[in-house]
Structure 1
Amino acid sequence: MSDAPHTGEQHDQRLAGRLNWLRAGILGANDGIISTAGLVVGVAGATTDRTWLLVTGLAGLVAGAFSMAGGEYTSVSAQRDTERAALAKERWELETMPSQELAELADFYERKGLTPQLAAQVAEELTREDALAAHAEVELGIDVDEQTSPWVAAFSSFVSFALGAVLPLLAIVLPPATARVPVTMVTVVLALALTGYVGARLGQAHRTRAATRAVVVGLLTMAVTYAVGSALGVSIS
Structure 2
Amino acid sequence: MAQSKSAKLRQQLVQSHQPQRIARRLSQGPGNSYLRDFIYGAIDGLITTFAIVAGVAGAGLSVSVVVVLGLANLLADGFSMGASNFLGVRADNQRIEKTRRQEHLEVELYPEGEREEIRQIFAAKGFSGAQLEDIVATITDDKKLWVDTMLQDEHGFSLQQASPLKAGLATLSAFVLLGALPLLPFLLGLVGVDLAHPYRFSLVLTFVGFALVGAAKGRQVGSSAWISALETLAIGGAAAGLAYWVGALISGL
Task: Tell me the TM-score range normalised by the shorter chain.
Answer: 0.7 to 0.9
1:116-135 alignment to 2 at 5 Å? Answer: 116-129=129-142, 130-135=145-150
Q: In the alignment, which residue of structure 2 is the partner of 1:113?
A: 126
How far has the Cα of 1:221 moved from its partner?
1.2
- In structure 2, C-alpha distance between the alignment counterparts of 1:61 and 1:157, rounded to whole Å: 12
- In structure 1, C-alpha distance between the alignment counterparts of 2:90 and 2:222, rounded to whole Å: 24
1:1-40 alignment to 2 at 5 Å? Answer: 18=33, 21-40=34-53
Whether the 8 Å CA contact 1:127–1:134 is kept in 2: the answer is: no
Q: In the alignment, which residue of structure 2 is the partner of 1:216?
A: 238
Q: In the alignment, which residue of structure 2 is the partner of 1:62?
A: 75
- In structure 1, C-alpha distance between the alignment counterparts of 2:134 and 2:232, rounded to whole Å: 46
SS of 1:147's equivalent in the other structure is coil
1:55-204 alignment to 2 at 5 Å? Answer: 55-129=68-142, 130-144=145-159, 146-174=160-188, 176-196=194-214, 199=217, 202=221
Given residue 216 of structure 1, which amino acid in structure 2 is its aligned partner? A
How far has the Cα of 1:210 moved from its partner?
4.7
SS of 1:176's equivalent in the other structure is coil
How far has the Cα of 1:114 moved from its partner?
1.7
- In structure 1, C-alpha distance between the alignment counterparts of 2:45 and 2:121, rounded to whole Å: 44
Query: Identity, % of aligned pairs?
Result: 27
- In structure 1, C-alpha distance between the alignment counterparts of 2:232 and 2:195, rounded to whole Å: 32
- In structure 2, C-alpha distance between the alignment counterparts of 1:113 and 1:41, rounded to whole Å: 58
Whether the 8 Å CA contact 2:40–2:171 is kept in 1: the answer is: no
Q: In the alignment, which residue of structure 1 is the partner of 2:12?
A: none
Please give the per-residue CA displacement for 1:160-218, whole angstroms capped at 9, x wherever unaligned.
211221111213322624221111111111222343465578498x8444531221221
How far has the Cα of 1:30 moved from its partner?
0.4
- In structure 1, C-alpha distance between the alignment counterparts of 2:72 and 2:222, rounded to whole Å: 32
Whether the 8 Å CA contact 1:193–1:214 is kept in 2: the answer is: no
Whether the 8 Å CA contact 1:197–1:211 is kept in 2: the answer is: no
- In structure 2, C-alpha distance between the alignment counterparts of 1:37 and 1:77, rounded to whole Å: 30
- In structure 2, C-alpha distance between the alignment counterparts of 1:229 and 1:176, rounded to whole Å: 26
Q: Which runs of 5+ in 2 are unaligned?
A: 1-25
Deviation larger for 64-73 or 180-189: 64-73
How far has the Cα of 1:82 moved from its partner?
2.4
- In structure 2, C-alpha distance between the alignment counterparts of 1:210 and 1:117, rounded to whole Å: 52
Shift of the 166–111 alpha-carbon distance from structure 1 to 2, 3 Å rule, reads same
Q: TM-score, normalised by structure 1?
A: 0.76
SS of 1:114's equivalent in the other structure is coil
Shift of the 192–148 alpha-carbon distance from structure 1 to 2, 3 Å rule, reads same
The question of 1:47 aligning with 2:84 is answered no
Aligned residue-pair number: 217
- In structure 2, C-alpha distance between the alignment counterparts of 1:183 and 1:143, rounded to whole Å: 44
Q: Which runs of 5+ in 1 are unaligned?
A: 1-9, 233-237
Whether the 8 Å CA contact 2:82–2:171 is kept in 1: the answer is: yes
Q: TM-score, normalised by structure 2?
A: 0.71
Q: In the alignment, which residue of structure 1 is the partner of 2:6?
A: none
Given residue 111 of structure 1, which amino acid in structure 2 is its aligned partner? A
- In structure 1, C-alpha distance between the alignment counterparts of 2:232 and 2:203, rounded to whole Å: 18
